[in-house]
Amino acid sequence: MRVTIFTSGTRGDIQPFLPLAKGLQRAGFGVRLSANPEFGSMIEQAGIPFAPVELDYNKLLLSPEIQTAMEKGGVNFLLVMLKVFPRAFEMVERALADASRVDPGADIILYTANGPWGYHLAEAQDVPAVFVCFQPAARSWEVPNAVAMASPGPKIINWLSHVAFEYVTWLPFRSRFNCWRKEMLRLPPLPLTPPFPKRQQAVWGAYSPALSPRPADWPDAWQVVGPWLEDSPPDWEPPAELAAFLDAGSPPIYLGFGSMLTLDTARITRTIIQALARTRQRAVVSRGWNNLAPTDLPGQLYLADRIPHAWLFPRMAMIIHHGGGGTTAAALRSGVPSMAVPYGADQPFWGRRAYALGTGPKPIAYRDLTADNLAEAIREGLTNLSMREKAQAAGEKISAEDGVGRAVELLQRMLAGRASRTDEK
């Protein structure tokens, strides 16, 4: 059975599909992953066939409007998205043209909100489609849309946050998708109503139910399967400089902000160095997409490129990160106290959820981060015994979750049921 996965975006939108694809391959599925060309080598090195669909998120993420919106978050983020949509139209049109060239041979299609063409291609090929989300993104009265709201509110507000997000991300692109459906896919146009997720369609929340449980008002087809986290590569060895740094003293702190971009790298670099000096702590700092590279590097700081989180995080004394869903789950799985410094989108949501578990200090929004409050959070994370105990407990719980196995099981059931219905006909 053949599975095609459509996504795009930053590394956090692609990385989780690598362990899923490997799990599907082990179960006998043929898998192909379609994403931005910049991730092609990473995908192919993992032994997964790759199909490129061009969608350059950097052009939008680096715009001043998006930078401001990411820092403010919430409803403001949705409003600013409307302003930058004209710039995104051409990008989407190119992506749709690329998606049309992807070999259509698939028995099932998985897609994300960043790869919405997967939904339409599944309709054109008459195969099942699964909407994959890495945060709560399907209508519920209990849980808000994680991009629009950081915390649950009144039930009607939770519900409306999903409705607003669906319409904001569908209506501006509707005419382009309908043109593509008619000319390339030979499908009828779609109405103003957002096409997905529908209650009868499969939806997978690829995040930990320990962080955000499955809402009771979701239909049976919508499931929280657990995070898709990579294990430490068995043959991976750290750079000699990193190994020496770790051996030279007590466990350091990790600081990394992943794929989040900022126009003010000098401020964040200065803040980190000052906070470390005030707490007399050593740290492994990830360059990330900000490409942090202070010219005067203190001896207590190691600047890292790409180090597997599964290997690195358990060796840290504390983890400070941007609050992305995958990084939050990886930090919790390590059993080490952690804290989010969210920029925007779903990061405030995950930062608050982790804080609710008592596994680390309260999140500090990126725009509010100073050397003083970062130093205070470091001291709290290193000295609070209750936090360490709860972090260890959360690590054991998330380590026991088998998100890949659950997804493979659901996929096998879906295809078995489809085959049975076909035989009956």
Residues 375 and 246 in one domain: yes
> Distance (Å, rounded) from C-alpha 370 to C-alpha 390?
26
- Per the CB < 8 A criterion, the answer to whether 2 and 107 are in contact is yes
Query: Does any domain span residue 277?
Result: yes
Which of 253-262, 360-369, 372-381 is predicted least confidently?
253-262
Percent of the chain with pLDDT over 70: 87
pLDDT tens figures, 7-65: 998 888 999 999 999 999 999 999 999 999 989 999 999 999 999 998 876 666 656 66
- Per the CB < 8 A criterion, the answer to whether 22 and 408 are in contact is no
Q: Where are the beta strands (DSSP E) in 298-398?
A: 301-304, 318-321, 338-340
> Distance (Å, rounded) from C-alpha 125 to C-alpha 110?
13
Residues 21 and 62 in one domain: yes
Q: Encoding tokens for residue 207?
A: 């995040």
- CATH code of 55's domain: 3.40.50.2000
- Per the CB < 8 A criterion, the answer to whether 78 and 160 are in contact is no
Residues 221 and 304 in one domain: no
Residues 37 and 124 in one domain: yes
> Distance (Å, rounded) from C-alpha 3 to C-alpha 339?
36
Percent of the chain with pLDDT over 90: 69
The pLDDT of 376-390, averaged and rounded, is 97
Comparing CA positions, the residue from 39, 73, 62, 43 lying closest to residue 322 is 73
More confident residue, 96 or 104: 96
Comparing CA positions, the residue from 384, 378, 383, 322 lying closest to residue 354 is 322
Residues 190 and 62 in one domain: yes
Residues 56 and 84 in one domain: yes
Angle 150-341-354 from CA coordinates, rounded to 5°: 55
Query: Does any domain span residue 142?
Result: yes
- Per the CB < 8 A criterion, the answer to whether 235 and 263 are in contact is no
> Distance (Å, rounded) from C-alpha 270 to C-alpha 288?
16
Query: Does any domain span residue 233?
Result: no
Query: Does any domain span residue 208?
Result: yes
Residues 392 and 411 in one domain: no
Comparing CA positions, the residue from 322, 270, 258 lying closest to residue 298 is 270
Q: Does pLDDT of 102 surpass 90?
A: no
> Distance (Å, rounded) from C-alpha 246 to C-alpha 256?
17
| Helices 155-170, 74-100: crossing angle, 10 deg rounding | 40
Query: Does any domain span residue 210?
Result: yes
Residues 108 and 217 in one domain: yes
Residues 251 and 194 in one domain: no
- Which of the four pLDDT bands, split at 50, 70 and 90, describes residue 289? very low
End-to-end CA gap in the chain: 20
Residues 47 and 170 in one domain: yes
The pLDDT of 316-329, averaged and rounded, is 95
The pLDDT of 203-208, averaged and rounded, is 97
> Distance (Å, rounded) from C-alpha 247 to C-alpha 238?
12
Query: Does any domain span residue 235?
Result: no
Give 396's contacts (C-beta < 8 A, 6+ positions apart). 335
The total number of structural domains in the chain stands at 2
Residues of the domain holding 273: 240-399
Residue 103: its pLDDT value, please? 76
Query: Does any domain span residue 36?
Result: yes
- Residue 92: how many other CB atoms lie within 10 Å: 18
Residues 69 and 218 in one domain: yes
Query: Does any domain span residue 41?
Result: yes
This prediction has a pTM of 0.90
Residues 343 and 368 in one domain: yes
